[in-house]
Amino acid sequence: MDSYDVEGSNIHVRFLEANPTRANFIIQNFNLETANSLRRYMLAEIPTVAIDLVEVLDNTSVLADEFICHRLGLIPLNSRGVEELIYSRDCDCENYCDQCSITLELNAKCEGDEIMRVYARDLVLVSNPPNDQVGQPVITDEDRQGSCIVKLRRGQAIHMRCIAKKGIAKEHAKWAPSAAIGFEYDPANKLHHLDLWFEGDDPKQEWPVDEERVNLDGGHPAEDEPFNYDAVPQRFFMDVETVGGLDPDQIVNRGIKGLQQKLAEVIHELDGGDNANNDFGAQSPTLNGGGFGNDPGYTTPGYGGGGSVWGPGATAGGTTPYGATPYGGGSW
């Protein structure tokens, strides 16, 4: 593949691969801090649903209750439309209700001589979820079974009421929308951020180089190329793989949106919070001299044209959407 070189300083996103399970893309003209913040936000702070409470009505299988409950928690549930669900802690109900939870029932008994396998598909939705997608077990295998929860022999039974709640992975990893997020910059190590540890004679033999990525990042440095002390990473390779609850592009979208919201909250607080007499909520924070949502290469679906979620505003290069602040005008 040819080198990915985009003129100018606007943020540019190029997709290398996009399918229902992963989004593999490059962000160009971005900075390391923000790219890493996006990665961390996508890993830990995007809400999904997962089984959080289990009422064990019957369990005569060989596995202990806690063992099965832990497995149930880790089964990916469909989280499309999770925004229609509220956090249980914010709900007025006593324990759980349809506004803050989804109830699934697992009820199986082995009556034959063959060993019976209980799968994720056997989790049956018994409550009224806010939409017809959220809370359903994610099943992607060819046999349409999902993950195996427990095996039962003749006479053994399992009956559990599982309460799925909305949460984020910061609280527990079971709410993580993605299994892992690949993140890399400078694959040729031109910036010398890596000190490659090696046992033999040559680190190059022990650390295979991803030639495709090196090519996309401008190729290997020339033999006599002097080291550039001022160089900073500019291209970031991200590979977001979903566990199935959310589409990978939704994870990226929600990551950007959430990060914008967080940054806006910081600026809002710096401006004096709710007491300040200024018009908050106009535009998104400005990055790299251009608007987040205004950059033609970075227009995120769902934000409506070039305007960001914070409003229709046009963020002129260099000025913050919050106008002249006491923190140095529009320079940051």
Binding site for Zn ion (CB under 5 A): 91, 93, 97, 99-100
Tell me how far, at minimum, the Cβ of 95 lies from Zn ion, in Å. Answer: 8
Using the minimum distance from each CB to Zn ion, give the nearer residue, 99 or 133.
99
Using the minimum distance from each CB to Zn ion, give the nearer residue, 33 or 94.
94
Tell me how far, at minimum, the Cβ of 261 lies from Zn ion, in Å. Answer: 24
Residue the block writes with tokens 């959310």: 246
Tell me how far, at minimum, the Cβ of 93 lies from Zn ion, in Å. Answer: 3
Tell me how far, at minimum, the Cβ of 99 lies from Zn ion, in Å. Answer: 5
Tell me how far, at minimum, the Cβ of 102 lies from Zn ion, in Å. Answer: 11
Using the minimum distance from each CB to Zn ion, give the nearer residue, 100 or 259.
100
Alpha carbons 171 and 46: distance in angstroms, whole number: 11
Using the minimum distance from each CB to Zn ion, give the nearer residue, 5 or 84.
84
Using the minimum distance from each CB to Zn ion, give the nearer residue, 90 or 143.
90
